[in-house]
Structure 1
Amino acid sequence: MQLYARDVGEGTPLVLLHAFPLSSSMWLTQREQLAPRFRVITPDLRGFGGSVLGGDEPSIEAMADDVANLLRQKGIAKAVIGGLSMGGYVAMALCRRHPERVRGLILADTKATADPDEARANRLRIAERLSAENTVAVLAEELLPKLVGPTTLRQRALIYGRVRGLVQATPAKAAAWAQRAMAARPDSLATLRETKVPALVIVGAEDTIATEADATAMVEALPNAELLVIPRAGHLSSLEQPDLFNQAVTEFVNAIARTT
């Protein structure tokens, strides 16, 4: 599967994998602010943005293989891999399936545990509605209000509007496929315990989807990790507090570039 990807800047390769149900458009501020320092690559995961869905069975592993193929196509042996939410699941699968490609790891507003039964059933219910209705109305109703924190809802109407537009632009078929893929994903804590590269775990202080407790569990599993809690941000910390997010990523990737 060939992914559409934006590729800007020069230097240490930094791959940023987007959240569900958005696209690489969510990384606009990161591309603008980080490209002067690094080579920033932001793929659309399969079915989202400019990437086709294909006919494979839904799986996070397939999405990770897509990213590994993208790096191969671009002649990049290793990259710092960052993922937010669903992108974090893909980043962890990449560590499991293609560890030789990972120079450093950034996990933002995500979790390493598999879905408990209730959450898995809810994903599958939403996937069925997406498939049956062929619209993303269910995501706008049920997921959109949880994607940003209360500070953003109160004070950052433009950001919330942008997120709403990205959700509404999502193809229903891709969203259903991704929900089924996430529902089937395995627990990744054992993968993190074997991941020796430097890692940065980021979480919005107001995130109720992937909580600070989830972030702490990942830091405790990783052999070489640090935790950053971003204040006044919910699940989309890179959009809600881009300056703090980008500063942390810059310091982290610079440190990797100096030491590896």
Structure 2
Amino acid sequence: MSKIFFNVQGTGQPVILIHGFPMNSAVWNEFAATISENFKVYTPDLPGFGKSESLSSPFSIDDVATQLLLWIEEQKIQNPVVIGHSLGGYVTLAMAAKNLNLFAGIGLFHSTAYSDSTEKKESRTKTIDFVKKNGALAFTSNFIQQLFANPEHPAIARIREIAIQSSEDTVTGYTQAMRDRPARVEVLQQFDKPVLLIAGKKDQSIPAASVEEQAALCKKPVLHVLNDVAHMGMFEKFTETVNLVKVFVNHL
């Protein structure tokens, strides 16, 4: 049995939306409700987030992907489109690496197939040390604002409320797993179905230029670079990103 809690709504083509770090499936509530008018939308909590059971530490992104694949099998979800935000994109690529033929299409929503740079790895290690010393709340309560181009965005408070539910073990465990994850460039090169890539021009975490490079590696890329958007396009440009996902899935 997998350890995954999830919500599902709508009918039609299955679409799985995977949340980022350090959040849970609730960040997709409005987005999922809107696109469920057209598709059958699943929003799982990654292990350790929300209501999903934790994995034993230490764990890897591959371990998380294994749990998601088991859950997809248990729920008999056929030929889904899987779209992952940030960390969710890392999990999506890890799943695709294990089974390239499972998905009708994949989406990287402010995410990357590259591994962490040396500088980023050092930053992750500092985060782990900080959380162990000061607790998860000290990190998560200040982290969310950095993800938006507009530091006064009205969604920040709501997402912060979601993020501060994350435990210390989950925050440090995923930070380590992200730091140590391998590159998944070969997945983009080998995947012969469409890949949606959404980037924010003001994203400090996943630079738009990097996403444009990766789009060039895909056989069937669908690239969108959003102006005045950082790392949270589903809130910063809600209507636009909803429409991008709808068009992508409808044209598979």
TM-score, normalization by structure 2: 0.95
* 1:1-260 equivalent positions in 2, closer than 5 A: 1-141=2-142, 143-150=143-150, 153-154=151-152, 156=153, 158-256=154-252
Distance 2:57 2:170 in 1: 12
Q: What percent identity do the matched residue pairs reach?
A: 24
1:27 maps to a residue whose letter is W
Using a 3 Å threshold, how does the CA distance of structure 1 residues 53 and 80 change in structure 2: closer, same or farther?
A: same
Q: Distance in 2 between matches of 1:137 and 1:146?
A: 14
Residues 195-227 of structure 1 show CA distances to partners (whole Å, capped at 9, x for unaligned) of 111111001222111111121122011111021
Does structure 2 conserve the Cα–Cα contact (< 8 Å) formed by 1:195 and 1:222?
A: yes
| Equivalent position amino acid for 1:184 in 2 | D
Deviation at 1:163, TM superposition (A): 2.0
SS of 2:132's partner is helix
- Provide structure 2 residue ranges, at least 5 long, that are not aligned to the other structure: none
- The runs of 5 or more residues in structure 1 that have no matched partner are none
* In 1, Cα distance between equivalents of 2:160 and 2:77: 34
Do the aligned partners of 2:145 and 2:156 also contact (CA within 8 Å) in 1?
A: no
User: Aligned-residue CA RMSD in angstroms?
Assistant: 1.4
> Mean alpha-carbon deviation: is it higher for 164-173 or for 241-250?
164-173
**Could you say what secondary structure the match of 2:245 adopts?**
helix
Contact 2:200–2:230 at 8 Å: present in 1 too? yes
Task: Supply the AA of the counterpart residue of 2:246.
Answer: T
CA shift, 1:194, in A, is 0.7
- SS of match in other structure, 2:17: strand
* 8 Å Cα contact 2:4-2:45 kept in structure 1: yes
Alignment size in residue pairs? 251
| CA–CA separation in structure 1 for the residues paired with 2:157 and 2:229 | 16
Q: CA deviation at 1:56?
A: 4.9
What is the Cα deviation at residue 121 of structure 1? 1.9
| Structure ranking higher in helix proportion | 1
Deviations 1:147-171 (A, max 9, x none): 1113xx24x3x21211222222222
TM-score norm. by structure 1 comes to: 0.92
Equivalent position SS for 1:46: coil
Q: How far apart, in 2, do the equivalents of 1:2 and 1:77 lie?
A: 20
Q: Which amino acid aligns with 2:159?
A: V
Q: Does the 8 Å CA contact 1:108/1:202 hold for their aligned counterparts?
A: yes
Superimposed CA distance per residue, residues 119-139 of structure 1 (whole angstroms, 9 cap, x where no aligned partner): 112212212332344333123
Q: Is the 8 A contact 1:81 1:106 kept in 2?
A: yes
Q: Output the amino acid matched with 1:174.
A: T
